[in-house]
């Protein structure tokens, strides 16, 4: 029998080459998609403002490695409706009265709280913000034993909490605390429980105050209990600062019965306004999941949340249509295993792309404020939601995408009919906006592979600003459209501007 091994190997190699070429050709064909924007077809007018939240933590203290870069970035952003939240894991940085008053003493102390708060107020000067001292002094709750807190203000105290029932059922302790806290920053000081005056010298105007954070988790409130707390706190704090508006709920989860109860004016005392509600979403990876699957999991969970938003909006419009909505914690989480390691650039670009997707889709639903979470995170304190690179204190891709959107797309802009042809897998997502002067398209790549986007002829010479792996911890890379298409690198976010 003749030896045909060589012929078989050559034929096999030819077939392999053909398969590879066919596969590459197919990928190129499916990857090139065409943008369509009908500027004459207005679909709606935007109500939405892109913004963020700032959570108080040790890295924002003066002298901390991330302090200067973080507050400089916040000041440069010039955002409105920024949410500021001193939070319970660091009790000494969040609670101004850590011990209950006695017959002879009180424990009021703002020495650790003020520097960070004043730096926030300075960085947002001239812009609207939302204040939320979310942590109720733990001693106000009934517990089996005293709940301690770390002596070191920089030491995390996840155990500071507990209790679902106030020791004072009249809530005078609760409302007295928050009225004094508000007075400290707006009235120059306050008189404490023993009649002693504490002078601050501050006379800030606080436009919005959010009442508590994630009450469905932190003290397991029911909607009925929370509504009573909201009414009591509003009544006491409104007397101190009549010009301040209030934000309710701040929910961790989108449970419809909370919205059904809280948004029904019949469940509130007469005269209590419902200015705004808020709630949160983190599109998280499943624990143990490899990064290769994140691009699907995170966007799938974003879509699941968007379906819930539509239902919540139907409740709001039915019960309290004048109430605004602030979705003020939007972020993504990695798995516990990945969180324990240095987080890759690919993740930051993916997370930034998810925020751009949230912004487009929540704008379509008429959400007023779309807040990215959060300015500063670091190992042990949600590093995966940080907008500042905790290794070099520079703004990362999540920050720069927010800035790109905030600087170019505003409430009042018109959304026009937009589509991407040959986008069968939904790899790219886009929305076109116009303000009568400029035409803008926000486009994002949902996948960890490049794609080519063919543009209409009118886009020749348009300005393109792109956040992707190449931009790293830098601002958007700017270029000009010189051909009929642009390349969208993995998880890229681009803003195309025609004037």
CA distance 459 to 37: 11
pLDDT at residue 3 greater than cutoff 70: no
User: What would the two tokens of residue 194 be?
Assistant: 């023993």
User: What would the two tokens of residue 268 be?
Assistant: 């509130």
7 band by pLDDT with thresholds 50, 70 and 90: very low
User: What would the two tokens of residue 225 be?
Assistant: 């209990």
pLDDT at 4: 43
* Structural contact between residues 326 and 277, judged by C-beta atoms closer than 8 angstroms: yes
pLDDT at 424: 76
Convert the pLDDT of each residue in 438-451 to its tens digit: 999 999 999 999 99
pLDDT at 423: 86
Mean pLDDT (the chain) is 93
pLDDT at 300: 97
425 band by pLDDT with thresholds 50, 70 and 90: confident
pLDDT at 285: 92
All domains of the chain in start order, with CATH: 31-44+415-498 (2.60.40.1180), 48-410 (3.20.20.80)
Convert the pLDDT of each residue in 245-303 to its tens digit: 999 999 999 999 999 999 999 999 999 999 999 999 999 999 889 999 999 999 999 99
Coil, strand or helix at 107: coil
If one counts every other C-beta atom within 10 angstroms of the C-beta of residue 106, the result is 16
The alpha carbon of residue 37 and the mean position of all alpha carbons in its chain are separated, in whole angstroms, by: 28
* Structural contact between residues 295 and 276, judged by C-beta atoms closer than 8 angstroms: no
pLDDT at residue 6 greater than cutoff 70: no
pLDDT at residue 124 greater than cutoff 60: yes
Backbone region of residue 412 per phi and psi (left: phi > 0; alpha: psi in -120 to 50; beta: other values): left
pLDDT at residue 155 greater than cutoff 70: yes
How confident is the model over 116-124, as a mean pLDDT? 98
461 band by pLDDT with thresholds 50, 70 and 90: very high
439-445: strand order across its sheet: 477-480, 463-467, 493-498, 439-445, 428-434, 414-421, 32-45, 451-454, 485-488
CA distance 476 to 494: 8
How confident is the model over 495-499, as a mean pLDDT? 94
pLDDT at 1: 37
pLDDT at 24: 44
Convert the pLDDT of each residue in 195-246 to its tens digit: 999 999 999 999 999 999 999 999 999 999 999 999 999 999 999 999 999 9
The alpha carbon of residue 480 and the mean position of all alpha carbons in its chain are separated, in whole angstroms, by: 31
Coil, strand or helix at 248: strand
Helices (H), 266-344: 294-319, 336-339
* Structural contact between residues 447 and 472, judged by C-beta atoms closer than 8 angstroms: no
pLDDT at residue 395 greater than cutoff 60: yes
Provide, rounded to the nearest whole percent, the portion of the chain with pLDDT above 70.
Answer: 94
Q: pTM above the 0.85 mark?
A: yes
Helix (H), strand (E) at residue 67: helix 67-77
């Amino acid at each position: 029998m003749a030896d045909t091994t060589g012929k078989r190997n050559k034929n096999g190699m030819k077939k392999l080459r053909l398969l590879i070429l066919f596969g590459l050709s197919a990928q190129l064909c499916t990857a090139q998609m065409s943008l369509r924007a009908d500027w004459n077809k207005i679909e709606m007018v935007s109500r939405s403002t892109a913004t963020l939240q700032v959570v108080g933590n040790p890295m924002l203290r003066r002298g901390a490695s991330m302090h200067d870069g973080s507050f400089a970035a916040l000041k440069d952003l010039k955002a409105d409706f920024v949410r500021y939240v001193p939070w319970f894991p660091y009790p000494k940085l969040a609670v101004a009265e850590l011990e209950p008053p006695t017959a002879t003493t009180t424990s009021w102390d703002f020495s650790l709280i003020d520097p960070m708060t004043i730096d926030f107020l300075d960085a947002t000067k001239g812009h609207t913000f939302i204040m939320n001292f979310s942590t109720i002094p733990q001693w106000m709750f009934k517990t089996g034993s005293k709940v301690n807190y770390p002596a070191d203000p920089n030491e995390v105290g996840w155990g500071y909490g507990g209790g679902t029932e106030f020791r004072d059922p009249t809530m005078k302790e609760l409302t007295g605390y928050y009225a004094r806290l508000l007075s400290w920053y707006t009235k120059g000081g306050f008189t404490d429980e023993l009649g002693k005056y504490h002078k601050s010298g501050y006379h800030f105007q606080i436009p919005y105050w959010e009442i508590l954070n994630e009450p469905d988790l932190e003290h397991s409130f029911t909607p009925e209990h929370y509504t009573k707390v909201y009414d009591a706190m509003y009544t006491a704090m409104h007397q101190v600062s009549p010009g301040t508006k209030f934000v309710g709920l701040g929910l961790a989860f989108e449970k419809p019965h909370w919205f059904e109860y809280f948004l029904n004016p019949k469940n509130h005392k007469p005269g209590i306004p419902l200015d705004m509600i808020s709630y949160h979403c983190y599109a998280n990876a499943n624990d143990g999941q490899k990064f290769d699957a994140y691009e699907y999991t995170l966007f799938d969970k974003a879509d699941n949340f968007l379906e819930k938003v539509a239902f919540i909006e139907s409740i709001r419009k039915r019960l309290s249509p004048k109430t605004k909505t602030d979705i003020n914690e939007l972020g993504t989480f990695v798995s516990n295993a990945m969180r324990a390691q240095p987080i890759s650039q690919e993740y930051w670009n993916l997370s930034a792309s998810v925020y751009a997707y949230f912004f487009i889709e929540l704008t379509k639903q008429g959400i007023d404020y779309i807040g990215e979470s959060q300015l500063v995170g670091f190992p042990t304190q949600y590093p995966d939601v940080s907008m500042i690179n905790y290794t070099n204190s520079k703004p990362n891709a999540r920050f720069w995408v927010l800035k790109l959107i905030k600087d170019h797309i505003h409430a009042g802009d018109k959304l026009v009919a937009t589509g991407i042809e040959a986008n069968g897998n939904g790899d790219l997502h886009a929305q076109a906006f116009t303000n009568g002067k400029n035409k803008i398209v926000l486009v994002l790549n949902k996948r960890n592979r490049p794609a080519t986007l063919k543009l209409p002829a009118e886009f020749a010479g348009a300005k393109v600003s792109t956040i992707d792996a190449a931009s790293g911890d830098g601002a958007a890379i700017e270029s000009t459209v010189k051909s009929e298409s642009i390349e969208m690198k993995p998880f890229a976010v681009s803003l195309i501007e025609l004037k």
